[in-house]
Chains A and B, each alone.
Chain A
Amino acid sequence: MKKYEILKKKKLADNVHEYEIYAPLVAKNARPGQFIILRVDKEGERVPFTICGYDKKLGTIKILVQTLGYSTLKLSLKEEGDTLQDFVGPLGKPTDLSLYKNILLIGGGIGIAVIFPQASYLNSIDKKADVIIGARNRELLMYDGPLEKEAKNLYIMTDDGSYGEKGFVTAKLEELLKTKTYDVVMTVGPVMMMKAVCDITKKANIKTIISMNSIMVDGTGMCGCCRVTVDGKTKYACVDGPEFDGHKVDFLEQRERGAYYKEQEQEAYCKLTGEIHKHKENK
Chain B
Amino acid sequence: MKERNKPRLQDPIERAKNFNEVNLGFDEETAVKEATRCLQCKKPFCVEGCPVGVNIPGFIERIYQRDFDGAAKILKGTNMLPAICGRVCPQEVQCESKCILGRKGESVAIGALERFVGDYSIRNAKQPSTKSVAKGKVAVVGSGPAGLTCAADCRARGLDVTIFESLHEPGGVLTYGIPEFRLPIDIVKSEIESLEKMGVKIELNVVIGKTIFIEELLATYDAVFLGSGAGLPIFLGMEGENLPGVYSANEYLTRVNLMGAYKEGAATPLVRGKVVAVVGAGNVAMDSARTALRLGAEKVMIVYRRSREEMPARREEIEHALEEGIEFLLLTNPVKILGQKHVEGMEVIKMELGDEDEKGRRRPIPIEGSNYNIECDQVIMAIGTNPNPLIVDSCPELKTGKNGVLVVDENLETSIKNVFAGGDAISGSATVIQAMGAGRRAAKSIIERLAQ
**A and B associate:** yes
Interface residues of A (CB under 8 A from B): 25-26, 28-29, 39, 43-46, 70-71, 85-91, 217-218, 220-225, 227-229, 234, 239, 253, 256-257, 259-261, 264-265, 268, 271
Establish whether residues A261 and B271, one from each chain, have CB atoms under 8 Å apart when the complex forms.
yes
Residues of chain A with a CB closer than 8 A to B166's CB: 88, 218, 220
* CB-defined A-B contacts under 8 Å, sample of 28: A25-B206, A25-B212, A43-B260, A45-B267, A46-B168, A46-B268, A86-B204, A88-B205, A88-B211, A90-B210, A90-B211, A218-B254, A220-B390, A221-B390, A222-B254, A222-B388, A223-B250, A224-B235, A224-B248, A225-B251, A228-B242, A234-B237, A253-B242, A257-B244, A260-B342, A261-B271, A264-B269, A268-B269
Residues of chain A with a CB closer than 8 A to B206's CB: 25, 88
Is B360 among interface residues, defined by CB-CB distance under 8 A? no
Provide the B210-225 mask, 1 if CB < 8 A to any CB of A, else 0. 1111000000000000
Closest CB in chain A relative to B71 CB, distance in Å: 37
Closest CB in chain B relative to A234 CB, distance in Å: 6
The residue of chain B having its C-beta at the shortest distance from the C-beta of A85 within the complex is: B168
Establish whether residues B207 and A88, one from each chain, have CB atoms under 8 Å apart when the complex forms.
yes
A29-B211, A271-B265 given; name 18 further pairs at CB < 8 Å.
Answer: A29-B212, A43-B260, A45-B259, A45-B269, A217-B255, A218-B167, A222-B232, A224-B233, A225-B247, A225-B251, A227-B242, A234-B242, A256-B243, A257-B242, A260-B244, A264-B269, A264-B270, A265-B269
Establish whether residues A45 and B244, one from each chain, have CB atoms under 8 Å apart when the complex forms.
no
Residues of chain A with a CB closer than 8 A to B247's CB: 224-225
Is B241 among interface residues, defined by CB-CB distance under 8 A? yes
Provide the B260-285 mask, 1 if CB < 8 A to any CB of A, else 0. 10000111111100000000000000
Name the prevailing secondary structure of the B interface residues. loop
Residues of chain B with a CB closer than 8 A to A261's CB: 269, 271
A89 to B212, CA, bound (A): 10
A224 to B244, CA, bound (A): 12
Provide the B272-303 mask, 1 if CB < 8 A to any CB of A, else 0. 00000000000000000000000000000000
A46 to B206, CA, bound (A): 15
A25 to B166, CA, bound (A): 13
Is B359 among interface residues, defined by CB-CB distance under 8 A? no
A88 to B209, CA, bound (A): 13
A89 to B204, CA, bound (A): 11
B242: contacting residue among A28, A222, A229, A265, CB under 8 A = A229
Is B245 among interface residues, defined by CB-CB distance under 8 A? yes
Given the interface pairs A229-B242, A259-B244, the reply to whether A239 lies near B390 with Cβ below 8 Å is: yes
Is B389 among interface residues, defined by CB-CB distance under 8 A? yes
Residues of chain A with a CB closer than 8 A to B267's CB: 43-45, 70-71, 268
A152 to B319, CA, bound (A): 68
Closest CB in chain A relative to B386 CB, distance in Å: 10
A29 to B231, CA, bound (A): 24
Establish whether residues A256 and B235, one from each chain, have CB atoms under 8 Å apart when the complex forms.
no
The residue of chain B having its C-beta at the shortest distance from the C-beta of A228 within the complex is: B242
Establish whether residues B211 and A220, one from each chain, have CB atoms under 8 Å apart when the complex forms.
no
Is B42 among interface residues, defined by CB-CB distance under 8 A? no
B259: contacting residue among A25, A29, A217, A253, CB under 8 A = A217
Given the interface pairs A43-B266, A46-B259, A85-B168, the reply to whether A220 lies near B388 with Cβ below 8 Å is: yes
Is B43 among interface residues, defined by CB-CB distance under 8 A? no
Residues of chain A with a CB closer than 8 A to B390's CB: 220-221, 239
Given the interface pairs A222-B388, A261-B271, A264-B269, the reply to whether A87 lies near B205 with Cβ below 8 Å is: yes
Residues of chain A with a CB closer than 8 A to B402's CB: none
A239 to B388, CA, bound (A): 10
Establish whether residues B259 and A221, one from each chain, have CB atoms under 8 Å apart when the complex forms.
no
A221 to B235, CA, bound (A): 13
A85 to B259, CA, bound (A): 14
Establish whether residues A39 and B342, one from each chain, have CB atoms under 8 Å apart when the complex forms.
no
The residue of chain B having its C-beta at the shortest distance from the C-beta of A262 within the complex is: B269
Provide the B50-77 mask, 1 if CB < 8 A to any CB of A, else 0. 0000000000000000000000000000
A26 to B271, CA, bound (A): 32
Is B103 among interface residues, defined by CB-CB distance under 8 A? no
Residues of chain B with a CB closer than 8 A to A220's CB: 166, 207, 210, 231, 388, 390
A264 to B231, CA, bound (A): 27
Closest CB in chain A relative to B239 CB, distance in Å: 11
Is B104 among interface residues, defined by CB-CB distance under 8 A? no
Q: Which of A28, A89, A227 has the most CB of B within 10 A?
A: A227
Closest CB in chain A relative to B283 CB, distance in Å: 17
A25: contacting residue among B211, B260, B341, CB under 8 A = B211
A6 to B241, CA, bound (A): 40
Establish whether residues A234 and B233, one from each chain, have CB atoms under 8 Å apart when the complex forms.
no
B389: contacting residue among A87, A221, A224, CB under 8 A = A221
Establish whether residues B231 and A221, one from each chain, have CB atoms under 8 Å apart when the complex forms.
yes
The residue of chain A having its C-beta at the shortest distance from the C-beta of B251 within the complex is: A223
Given the interface pairs A91-B207, A256-B243, A271-B265, the reply to whether A224 lies near B251 with Cβ below 8 Å is: yes
A51 to B86, CA, bound (A): 45
Residues of chain A with a CB closer than 8 A to B207's CB: 88-89, 91, 220
A256 to B271, CA, bound (A): 14
Provide the B106-122 mask, 1 if CB < 8 A to any CB of A, else 0. 00000000000000000
Establish whether residues A86 and B205, one from each chain, have CB atoms under 8 Å apart when the complex forms.
yes
Residues of chain A with a CB closer than 8 A to B231's CB: 220-222
A43 to B237, CA, bound (A): 34
A217 to B251, CA, bound (A): 8
Closest CB in chain A relative to B213 CB, distance in Å: 7
Residues of chain B with a CB closer than 8 A to A88's CB: 166, 168, 205-207, 211
Establish whether residues B242 and A221, one from each chain, have CB atoms under 8 Å apart when the complex forms.
no
The residue of chain B having its C-beta at the shortest distance from the C-beta of A257 within the complex is: B244
Closest CB in chain A relative to B79 CB, distance in Å: 27
A29 to B235, CA, bound (A): 32
Residues of chain A with a CB closer than 8 A to B204's CB: 86
Establish whether residues B168 and A86, one from each chain, have CB atoms under 8 Å apart when the complex forms.
yes
Establish whether residues A221 and B167, one from each chain, have CB atoms under 8 Å apart when the complex forms.
no
The residue of chain B having its C-beta at the shortest distance from the C-beta of A44 within the complex is: B267
A85 to B124, CA, bound (A): 32
Q: Which of A223, A228, A259 has the most CB of B within 10 A?
A: A223
Establish whether residues B211 and A26, one from each chain, have CB atoms under 8 Å apart when the complex forms.
yes
Establish whether residues B250 and A224, one from each chain, have CB atoms under 8 Å apart when the complex forms.
yes
Establish whether residues B210 and A256, one from each chain, have CB atoms under 8 Å apart when the complex forms.
no
A223: contacting residue among B205, B243, B254, B271, CB under 8 A = B254
